[in-house]
Amino acid sequence: MNLAQAVALCVELEPIVAVHGGHVSLTGGSLYKDGERKDADIVIYRHKFAIPVAWEKLLSDIEVCTDLFLIKDCGRVKKFRRKSGAYVDIIDPNNGEGDYTNG
């Protein structure tokens, strides 16, 4: 997946994630390196005043609303694959624990 494809995916995911009180952020090789990468790394972080992200419902909504399907939940990293074959890692930086905000 290249940078343009990864950004387009972030744009597609943002409204889905926002419903669950979060935002998306692109990181990893598709952002920092040129050309095609083996996957895209997307961090989902909680909006400052939102309730904690309900990951089970969010993952279900991602599968329903996009061409991504979950292939493995590794806790902090949720591994998805696009129907096109591209891989996407969706990352919960707090692994579902703790407070994401400072106030």
Whether 33 is in a domain gets the answer yes
| 99 in a structural domain | no
The whole-number pLDDT of residue 103 equals: 40
User: Which pLDDT tens digit goes with each residue over 46-78?
Assistant: 887 767 788 889 999 999 999 999 999 998 999
Residue 64 falls inside a structural domain: yes
pLDDT digits (tens, 9 = 90+) for 1-34: 999 999 999 999 999 999 998 999 999 988 998 8
Q: Is residue 97 part of a domain?
A: no
Q: What angle do CA 16, 40, 20 make, to 5 degrees?
A: 20
CATH number at residue 60: 3.30.460.10
Show the domain range for 73: 3-91
Q: CA-CA distance, 6 to 17, in Å (whole number)?
A: 16
pLDDT of 100 over the 60 cut:
no
Residue 24 within a domain: yes
Structural domains of the chain, count: 1
**22: in domain:** yes
Separation of alpha carbons 57 and 73, rounded Å: 14
